[in-house]
Amino acid sequence: MAASLRLLGAASGLRYWSRRLRPAAGSFAAVASKTPVGFIGLGNMGNPMAKNLMKHGYPLIIYDVFPDACKEFQDAGEQVVSSPADVAEKADRIITMLPTSINAIEAYSGANGILKKVKKGSLLIDSSTIDPAVSKELAKEVEKMGAVFMDAPVSGGVGAARSGNLTFMVGGVEDEFAAAQELLGCMGSNVVYCGAVGTGQAAKICNNMLLAISMIGTAEAMNLGIRLGLDPKLLAKILNMSSGRCWSSDTYNPVPGVMDGVPSANNYQGGFGTTLMAKDLGLAQDSATSTKSPILLGSLAHQIYRMMCAKGYSKKDFSSVFQFLREEETF
Amino acid sequence: MAASLRLLGAASGLRYWSRRLRPAAGSFAAVASKTPVGFIGLGNMGNPMAKNLMKHGYPLIIYDVFPDACKEFQDAGEQVVSSPADVAEKADRIITMLPTSINAIEAYSGANGILKKVKKGSLLIDSSTIDPAVSKELAKEVEKMGAVFMDAPVSGGVGAARSGNLTFMVGGVEDEFAAAQELLGCMGSNVVYCGAVGTGQAAKICNNMLLAISMIGTAEAMNLGIRLGLDPKLLAKILNMSSGRCWSSDTYNPVPGVMDGVPSANNYQGGFGTTLMAKDLGLAQDSATSTKSPILLGSLAHQIYRMMCAKGYSKKDFSSVFQFLREEETF
Amino acid sequence: MAASLRLLGAASGLRYWSRRLRPAAGSFAAVASKTPVGFIGLGNMGNPMAKNLMKHGYPLIIYDVFPDACKEFQDAGEQVVSSPADVAEKADRIITMLPTSINAIEAYSGANGILKKVKKGSLLIDSSTIDPAVSKELAKEVEKMGAVFMDAPVSGGVGAARSGNLTFMVGGVEDEFAAAQELLGCMGSNVVYCGAVGTGQAAKICNNMLLAISMIGTAEAMNLGIRLGLDPKLLAKILNMSSGRCWSSDTYNPVPGVMDGVPSANNYQGGFGTTLMAKDLGLAQDSATSTKSPILLGSLAHQIYRMMCAKGYSKKDFSSVFQFLREEETF
Amino acid sequence: MAASLRLLGAASGLRYWSRRLRPAAGSFAAVASKTPVGFIGLGNMGNPMAKNLMKHGYPLIIYDVFPDACKEFQDAGEQVVSSPADVAEKADRIITMLPTSINAIEAYSGANGILKKVKKGSLLIDSSTIDPAVSKELAKEVEKMGAVFMDAPVSGGVGAARSGNLTFMVGGVEDEFAAAQELLGCMGSNVVYCGAVGTGQAAKICNNMLLAISMIGTAEAMNLGIRLGLDPKLLAKILNMSSGRCWSSDTYNPVPGVMDGVPSANNYQGGFGTTLMAKDLGLAQDSATSTKSPILLGSLAHQIYRMMCAKGYSKKDFSSVFQFLREEETF
């Protein structure tokens, strides 16, 4: 983090906001009467995110297609309603956290979607990871209703969602960024302004595509080195002091026995599932196709994670690609 | 470097030696009468490497297939001979620095090769980057003659060779490592013991394969992000504080305007040529084929650098893959 | 063709119709008063297709976003209207031939789209090559209006469009196939029923993906063989009598000098442009992503044609991939 | 075959020889006293090949590293010796049929290799599938001894070896082709002259690389089409009457239920094993690397077959790539 902050000095022109700089949570709680915040999508990620808003004193208006997902919040005294439209009727700041582009379109533009009852001047923040072209489309429709849309996908998994340490990559009109920060800062330790609508998605997609490529590359290089007689720990050290160094080699090494506290040390349990990586690579693929950007390695990485999903790796952490490549030829 | 040293603490079991820990050059010079060291291959890299040995007071026995390459050394008073065999007759420590596996085989096993006149107990260090299978083969032949062979390929380019800051990755019998260090430490600031013969080559090949993959990945991600509307500097910062971070994104970014002092800031002049990367990927490919190791991204990276060589990029730095991918579709 | 017909015998269950089996064009003309047919999209392909309908005696109702494209038909006495909706008002059989999914959506569902004025029982045939998911979506909307939608993309280029020798791959309700045949048979020599809506697109996409893969494969194999010392004509003959045989090797060989009358014999002029192949591969990619089908070679083929478009090959025939791979490394 | 012969007319300049044109087997037998032929390597392929030479009346001099492999021939009265050198002492025409480059080098250049006792003017024919660079190397060494070397790898499996229907692709001095034909024609129905030494291997490697690519392409296209709702038999028919047509789609379709009498109809038993395809692709890869020929799809096909070997497909026919791709994603 120290390193990150250094990169992000005043001269950089980067609109960036980190927990270290913000008022303590306590001072938020001191603010007497907060207006309610809508929250749509209380899944694995949405649930702890919404709870962090509650901790900061925001009353919630809740909706999920699965009523069971709302029960916990209802018991805690939050208001549960029966459609996204109803959320929009009762809250002028809404956060959506949904699994796919289709779910997001339904929540906004569906028969009982937000747009049916959205109030002028509302701030709608979509933290789903979806196609940036869809984000732009939704933003246009929202704008027609006199409201504001921002895309703010997250990086960091369920653990970071619980501890309020997510990173949000935010796209939208810059004037509205401060208003978005107020809410997102309750759920994440980094909130980065990326540019116009859709650029939050773009930043996330590009990062995850590069992550997928360097993880597979690390797995290939480690596997090749081991087969050529190198000790895995030694090889990792050499890579990490050389130009092959990357997050996948020095922070999240995919080879069992090289590092502690990472999924490879725990049979690839936990972490970021292969099926989620395959989904993000599908978005990268779509974006690349529509912008005619060549992504040779990105496409192949997509196909590799696709294949892994079909070979029983879908729920394992995405670093299990080492195990996938490692299987020995048998005759 | 501080970070590297931390990784390489005493507890790690890594045989590792850095300039910071070695006696100053002056103290070397104080040693009265050094025995001569043979040096075969005085090209772009071999020339400055040999000069660093001279600076440390080692008399040289010189050979190169191109007599012109020896002239400078002859003028400086070093002894030039007419074949690798003659080098072996006059020196019992020899360093070879040659462009390809075939050149190395010729220098060792050819009609006038080192093996024709090598003395028992000689130490032969090959710093060429070649197929590890060839290194092992040469080691066997050398051993038959009662001498010792180590592979010690370098990372770092001509600049590092001049300043004596190369990294050597050394494979061979561990008992001989100290003897190799004495010489290699005059030419490099890092000398890492990697294991049995061939593992020096293996470490270099694996590192460069991962480097090639993450460089292309960085170029693809940066290009996609730019086409999706992100500012390149901002995108680089986001990647570097996230899981996409790698040496190619944070130290050697391929996008012009993102960093200073790297080849992308200078029209991809200098640095590590595309043709050299293609050569190293060819070695990775050969090693993977012979050990039946799947390298899906590594193979494709090889083909991409191959294609770049055919499209006019052979002499540009390998980060010019960004430029290669960046060319716009025209109709 | 004889071979094809053999494959398509009565026992095969294939709904298939070929010019050889249909009444002569003259007998069509004899039919006195044909009801008008709508035609939307008079581009390179649409223009000659519409003319073939005219030759068979169908009065046309014409629309194109570029008024100039209609002039020729107006001069010939056909009726030109000012929107797709107006076409739908005057014709109950409409053929659309548009460049992309977005154009097709606009023509059907836009503010002045067909659906605004379509009559119950109308037959709407879309011969555009678009995403099969879009075809299905359009079909649903058309069905809501009480009309019938079929997708009927073509294979064969401008030449086949002129001579009425296109192949149509048709998806939709089987009961309506005969009605579609009546019109499509005026423009093509093969009309193949593929199954439910979207399967016409699916068949075309799958064929073109396999074509792209085998064309690049042929180019790689021919180039490798030539570099290994084989005569290109001899190598082509060996492939064509062996298991490497494919349409790209035996009918459309990409190596200049091997065959006459193909684009490779004419500096890759004419034929099927690289940019069109890249477009079709983008559709294959989208369909594969949405159905989670691994297409490792298909993805890479897509990226290769993408790159070629950026390197000046967009207007050359897609067999120019041989030339693209062939360029020599220079130092 | 009729089609092949048409391709190979007199005007083509192709040195080609087919069983239909050669004297009947009986007329060979009539030749009174044939000189013995050496045969080294009596494995799955070598065994039936050698037997076909016996049927044509050639006495054999036999050697195999596994003595058991020779027993059958000894019982039949052929002469078994104890090294390749001994074969060379007793026969001036020798055929070698070995699994890898290393085995071939050992048989020719090893301590007891053919070259130790080869007679001037001997004809040495290597039917192994090996690296063409090794073939050229062996040819040079053989030439130094005053003998002649030809590479003559086969296509066709064990069945074709038994029935004498192999195809031989022959590289070497053209003047010696007729002499090679005399022997090879006893074991194969097609004997094709390809050019200088190594071109036999080159032709085989190029064919098999294209075969691998088009087989995977067919599997991807069929799988995608099925997932998009097409009937597999119908899709195969459409491909086979269109530009996607290839040997893998029309003669050896990888989808169960589409064709009879092919491995896909028999759970991928029999045919050409995945592990053998992976080996041939390794040779293609090596040749491409050494000649700097880009093979993007060829490399990826290699890696795919490599992975299949590690996932339990090594003994299945190489068309089982359809099954490999077909496995469904599970969650």
D204 labelled catalytic: yes
Whether pLDDT at A30 is above 60: no
List the subunits that have 3+ CB pairs under 8 angstroms with C. A, B, D
Helix axes of A274-291 and B199-227: crossing angle, nearest 10 degrees: 60
Among chain D, residues having any CB pair with chain A shorter than 8 Å are 275, 300, 306-307, 309-312, 314-315, 325, 327-331
List the subunits that have 3+ CB pairs under 8 angstroms with D. A, B, C
pLDDT of res. D93: 97
User: Residue D95 is which amino acid?
Assistant: I
Whether pLDDT at C54 is above 80: yes
CA distance D300 to chain A (A): 9
pLDDT of res. A14: 52
Strand A16-18 to strand A79-80: parallel, antiparallel, or no bridges (unpaired)?
unpaired
CA distance B317 to chain C (A): 13
Q: Which of A275, A306, A327 sits opposite D310 (nearest CB)?
A: A327
Number of residues written out for chain B: 331
User: Residue C262 is which amino acid?
Assistant: V
* Backbone phi, psi, residue D18, to 5°: -125, 155
Confidence tier at C190 by pLDDT (50, 70, 90): very high
Whether pLDDT at C330 is above 70: no
Show the tokens assigned to A145: 């209703």
Q: List chain A residues with CB under 8 Å of C306.
A: 292-294
**Which tens digit of pLDDT belongs to each residue from D54-74?**
999 999 999 999 999 999 999
pLDDT of res. A330: 55
Confidence tier at D14 by pLDDT (50, 70, 90): low
User: Residue C221 is which amino acid?
Assistant: A
Inter-chain residue contact A299 with C299, CB threshold 8 Å: yes
CA distance C141 to chain D (A): 20
Show the tokens assigned to B95: 């360093």
- HEC letters along D107-126: HHHCCCCHHHCCCCCCEEEE
CA distances for D60 relative to A200, D78, D127, angstroms: 76, 6, 16
D18 Rama sector, left if φ>0, alpha if ψ -120 to 50, beta otherwise: beta
User: Cβ of D185: how many Cβ atoms within 10 Å?
Assistant: 23
Do domains A15-196 and A203-325 share one topology? The answer is no
Inter-chain residue contact D242 with C295, CB threshold 8 Å: no
CA neighbor of B95 nearest in space, from B161, B27, B29, B24: B161
User: Cβ of D5: how many Cβ atoms within 10 Å?
Assistant: 14
On the CB side of A134, CA atoms within 13 Å amount to: 19
Quote the CA–CA distance of A155 and A207 in Å, as a whole number.
9
Quote the CA–CA distance of C237 and C250 in Å, as a whole number.
8
What is the DSSP code (8-state) at residue B125? E
| Three-state DSSP state, A93 | strand
* Backbone phi, psi, residue C299, to 5°: -60, -45
CA neighbor of A39 nearest in space, from A109, A86, A76: A86
Choices 1.10.600.10, 1.10.1040.10, 3.40.1160.10, 3.30.390.10: CATH for C203-326: 1.10.1040.10
In this structure, are residues C322 and C223 in contact, taking their beta carbons and an 8 Å threshold? yes
Quick one: CATH architecture of A15-196?
Answer: 3-Layer(aba) Sandwich (3.40)
Size of interface B-D (CB pairs under 8 A): 44
**Which tens digit of pLDDT belongs to each residue from D260-275?**
999 999 999 988 999 9
CA neighbor of A200 nearest in space, from A238, A275, A247, A149: A149
Inter-chain residue contact B312 with C325, CB threshold 8 Å: no
Active-site residue list of C: 204
pLDDT of res. C328: 66
Q: What DSSP element (H or E) covers B283?
A: helix B274-291
Strands (E), chain A: 16-18, 37-40, 60-63, 79-80, 93-96, 123-126, 148-151, 154-155, 166-171, 188-195
Confidence tier at C53 by pLDDT (50, 70, 90): very high
In this structure, are residues A155 and A207 in contact, taking their beta carbons and an 8 Å threshold? yes
In this structure, are residues C107 and C41 in contact, taking their beta carbons and an 8 Å threshold? yes
Whether pLDDT at D9 is above 60: no
Which residue in chain B is spatially nearest to C305 when comparing CA positions? B329
User: Cβ of B57: how many Cβ atoms within 10 Å?
Assistant: 15
Quote the CA–CA distance of D133 and A82 in Å, as a whole number.
73
In this structure, are residues C8 and C17 in contact, taking their beta carbons and an 8 Å threshold? no
Size of interface A-B (CB pairs under 8 A): 262
Work out the end-to-end distance of chain D between its first and last CA atoms, rounded to an integer number of angstroms. 49
Question: Which residue is it, tokens 């025939």?
Answer: C317
CA distances for A145 relative to A109, A263, C259, angstroms: 12, 45, 62
Best of D5, D197, D214 to substitute, by most chain C Cβ atoms within 10 angstroms, is D214
**Which tens digit of pLDDT belongs to each residue from B213-257?**
999 999 999 999 999 999 999 999 999 989 999 999 999 999 999
In this structure, are residues B251 and B271 in contact, taking their beta carbons and an 8 Å threshold? no
Inter-chain residue contact C329 with B315, CB threshold 8 Å: no
Quote the CA–CA distance of B325 and C310 in Å, as a whole number.
8
Average pLDDT over residues B132-161: 94
- Fold adopted by A203-325: N-(1-d-carboxylethyl)-l-norvaline Dehydrogenase; domain 2 (1.10.1040)
Q: Which of B228, B249, B297 sits opposite A217 (nearest CB)?
A: B297
Whether pLDDT at D22 is above 70: no
Q: List chain C residues with CB under 8 Å of D4.
A: 240-241
Confidence tier at C16 by pLDDT (50, 70, 90): low
| CA-atom Rg of chain C in angstroms | 21
Inter-chain residue contact D224 with C325, CB threshold 8 Å: no
Q: List chain D residues with CB under 8 Å of A327.
A: 310-311
pLDDT of res. D21: 46
Alpha carbon C134 to chain centroid distance? 16
CA neighbor of C14 nearest in space, from D110, B271, D240: D240
CA neighbor of D311 nearest in space, from A224, B294, A220: B294
3-state percent breakdown (helix, strand, coil) of chain A, nearest 5:
50, 15, 35
Among chain A, residues having any CB pair with chain D shorter than 8 Å are 275, 300, 306-307, 309-312, 314-315, 325, 327-331
Q: List chain C residues with CB under 8 Å of D293.
A: 220, 223-224, 227, 325
pLDDT of res. C165: 93
Cβ-based neighbours of B3, under 8 Å, separated by 6 or more = A241
What is the DSSP code (8-state) at residue A35? P
CA neighbor of A310 nearest in space, from D218, D224, B294, D326: D326
Question: Which residue is it, tokens 């006893």?
Answer: D186
C65 Rama sector, left if φ>0, alpha if ψ -120 to 50, beta otherwise: alpha
In this structure, are residues D192 and C266 in contact, taking their beta carbons and an 8 Å threshold? no
Mean of the per-residue pLDDT values for chain A? 90
CATH number of the domain at D2-195, please? Answer: 3.40.50.720
Q: Which of C294, C296, C303 sits opposite A294 (nearest CB)?
A: C303
Inter-chain residue contact B234 with A194, CB threshold 8 Å: yes
- HEC letters along D36-70: CEEEECCCCCHHHHHHHHHHCCCCEEEECCCCHHH
Q: Which of C286, C300, C310 sits opposite A299 (nearest CB)?
A: C300
**Which tens digit of pLDDT belongs to each residue from D200-240?**
999 999 999 999 999 999 999 999 999 999 999 999 999 99
Which residue in chain C is spatially nearest to D304 when comparing CA positions? C296
pLDDT of res. B17: 53
Which residue in chain A is spatially nearest to C296 when comparing CA positions? A303
User: Cβ of C311: how many Cβ atoms within 10 Å?
Assistant: 17
Q: Which of C289, C293, C307 sits opposite A294 (nearest CB)?
A: C307
- Give me the interface pTM, i.e. the ipTM: 0.88
Quote the CA–CA distance of D122 and D93 in Å, as a whole number.
6
In this structure, are residues B49 and B27 in contact, taking their beta carbons and an 8 Å threshold? no
Work out the end-to-end distance of chain B between its first and last CA atoms, rounded to an integer number of angstroms. 49
Cβ-based neighbours of D29, under 8 Å, separated by 6 or more = D56, D57
Quote the CA–CA distance of C58 and C183 in Å, as a whole number.
9
**Domain parsing of chain B, residue ranges:** 2-195, 203-325
**Which tens digit of pLDDT belongs to each residue from A114-170?**
999 999 999 999 999 999 999 999 999 999 999 999 999 998 888 899 999 999 999
Quote the CA–CA distance of D201 and D203 in Å, as a whole number.
5
CA distance B133 to chain A (A): 9
CA distance A143 to chain C (A): 20
pLDDT of res. D26: 44
Mean of the per-residue pLDDT values for chain B? 90
Which one of A51, A204, A279, A316 is the catalytic residue? A204
CA distance A300 to chain C (A): 6
Whether pLDDT at C21 is above 50: no
User: Residue B166 is which amino acid?
Assistant: L
Quote the CA–CA distance of A278 and A297 in Å, as a whole number.
14
- HEC letters along D122-172: CEEEECCCCCHHHHHHHHHHHHHCCCEEEECCEECCHHHHHHCCEEEEEEC
Could you tell me which CATH class the domain C2-194 is placed in? alpha beta
pLDDT of res. D23: 43
What is the DSSP code (8-state) at residue C114? G
Average pLDDT over residues A287-294: 93
What is the DSSP code (8-state) at residue D31? S
- Angle (CA) D38-D40-D42 rounded to 5° is 120
DSSP characters over C254-317: -STTT-SSSGGGGTT-SSSBHHHHHHHHHHHHHHHHHHT---HHHHHHHHHHHHHHHTT-TTSB
Question: Which residue is it, tokens 């998009």?
Answer: D228
Alpha carbon A199 to chain centroid distance? 13
In this structure, are residues A37 and A185 in contact, taking their beta carbons and an 8 Å threshold? no
Inter-chain residue contact B312 with C330, CB threshold 8 Å: yes
CA distance B22 to chain D (A): 41
